[in-house]
Structure 1
């Protein structure tokens, strides 16, 4: 192969990389937008869920709205994992590529399918079971991200860029907050089923009001963390 042919081949491969990376970046931006915007939508839709002065049917409609908005945020969160790892490999800041990345995409496809099925089965016993399985996956993903991120910040590897390691560590913390908020949403289903079948219940109403007040405070940290994560990925200050 001549020098010119080698140069042409390099340019061709570079063009393929740039095209792929730009598409991944585009998808990453969309996922982040749905995550941040979706959480804001859920926050506002949920304001009337814990109001005992409203008719039960109206509160249920607000809960349905919150769930329909939340599924976009959940989808964005899950997709950020393989998108971020794939882009990190393209940029050379994390070494896990090739078959490992393919396996990650397959794993996430299964995870996302589980989440979507739980959404469509919401309100049923099967939906609650699938939601718990969705949550259980996070029990493995969160520690893996946190340990790898902190280890990379301290030692410089395997995430070789500090901004990338910090972003992964922060992402694991935000997943914890998201998990707590999803516990609240799962409990809504159980609590409303009890209200529908058993009528007014002061203890359940108090439980929902307390959970809602706690979730609102937690949401502010959630939004701040998402914005910070976007800043780290865009500006790369460290």
Structure 2
């Protein structure tokens, strides 16, 4: 079997690995967050250690998400579903690696203006990519092009919705920073814990939406039901 023959199944495998890292890592983040909520079981120091673990685990699904975009477009080209120009594919990979760098650089320079800048750029990237996938899926479903198979068009649309839900996670989670700082400064009490838990509860709604969409996207991609 030639390298050309191996290219598509190898990219499928890489895409599946990214999916496993994304969903599996997210579940790890969720479970660590659930333990953080148990103020009667753990001391505040233990809960903060769980939070640091959560942040570390979260870097892996975030990284997988960034590489999902160029890998998905590469699959479309290698599978003969979309004749994207080579320059467009190269731009997609460059964008993916820039996004990956922004994620890790912000992590290593957390709580600095540099991290704020990186996360702002990352947000605009996510907005643009969300619009792109939503438009690609909608246009393909209604006109049959550029993605002809309906299952593939639906997958693109759902992938765009994953971006929307993930953006809403970040929006809902934004108050956690000052609320957590207040908890650390003033200690655990109903006054400091209540707002933080309410923020986490609102965020979990969109987390569950992302899980549901990820499962739907993987099901459609594997089964091709229509």
What TM-score, normalized by structure 1, do the two folds share?
0.84
Structure 1 residue runs of 5 or longer lacking an equivalent are 1-13
68-77 or 41-50, which deviates more: 41-50
Q: Following the alignment from structure 1 to structure 2, what is the Cα–Cα distance between the partners of residues 172 and 203?
A: 38
Structure whose CA Rg is larger: 1
Q: Distance in 2 between matches of 1:15 and 1:141?
A: 34
In structure 2, the gaps of 5 or more residues are none
Correspondence 1:176-191 to 2 at 5 A: 176-191=164-179
Specify the alignment match of 1:114 in structure 2. 102
Deviations 1:103-145 (A, max 9, x none): 1111111111001111222344533442233222111110111
More moved, 48-57 vs 20-29: 48-57
Output the CA distance in 2 between the equivalents of 1:25 and 1:16. 14
Q: Which residue of 1 aligns with 2:205?
A: 217
Q: Which residue matches 2:21?
A: 34
Give the aligned length: 225
Q: Structure 1's 62 and 16: CA in aligned 2 closer, same or farther, altered over 3 A?
A: same
Q: CA deviation at 1:63?
A: 1.3
Which residue of the partner structure matches residue 141 of structure 2?
153
Change (3 A) 1:133 1:193: farther
Partner of 2:90: 102
Matched, 1:20 2:7: yes
2:58 matched to which residue of 1? 70
Asked which structure has the greater RCO (Cα within 8 Å, sep 6+), the reply is: 1
> What TM-score results when the alignment is normalised by the length of structure 2?
0.88
Residues 36 and 73 of structure 1 are in contact (CA less than 8 Å); yes or no, is this contact kept in structure 2? yes
